[in-house]
Amino acid sequence: MAKLLKKGQMKPGTIAEAGSMSRLNTGTWRTYCPVTDLEKCTHCMICWLLCPDSAVQIEAGKKVGTNLQYCKGCGICATECPVDAIEIKLESEMSEQERKGYPAREFW
């Protein structure tokens, strides 16, 4: 498990252009990935609200996964989830089951 910053330790950041994240696919450099336990998730949408890359996938008002085309593995979602439903794992150690439902990445 990666060592995460605690609340209040993260520095504010910016993006160059509002709405530009949909065009910025993550390359092969990502090291960590969020894995959500959807049984534990209360669908509060906090991770959706705070994800800087709009990578949290929602369907019919419920979280259904994470779009790895856009997720940068920053860990904000795991730090802020109030019920600790998100674990940050080394991407190289994710199981096929944990990848299930994620869109295939062109880079893999």
Contact 39, 83 (CB under 8 A): no
Quick one: which of 36, 57, 65, 89 contacts ligand SF4 (CB under 6 A)?
36
> How remote is the C-alpha of 24 from its chain's centroid?
15
Lookup: tokens for 32: 């960590």
Minimum CB–partner distance for residue 21 and ligand SF4 (Å): 9
Q: How buried is 12 (Cβ within 10 angstroms: 0-12 exposed, 13-18 middle, 19+ buried)?
A: exposed
Helices (runs of H) and strands (runs of E) counted in the chain: 3, 4
Please select the residue that binds ligand SF4; options are 53, 65, 89, 91, rule is CB under 6 A.
53
- Tell me the number of residues near ligand SF4 by CB under 6 A: 26
Closest to ligand SF4 by CB, 24 vs 44, is 44
Sketch the per residue contact string, 61 through 100, with ligand SF4: x for CB under 6 A, - otherwise.
--x--x----xxxxxxx---x-x-xx--------------
Q: Is 31 in the site for ligand SF4 (CB under 6 A)?
A: no
Report in angstroms the alpha-carbon separations of 36 from 15, 33, 59, 75.
Answer: 25, 10, 15, 12
Per CB under 6 A, residues contacting ligand SF4 are 34, 36, 41-47, 51, 53, 55-56, 63, 66, 71-77, 81, 83, 85-86
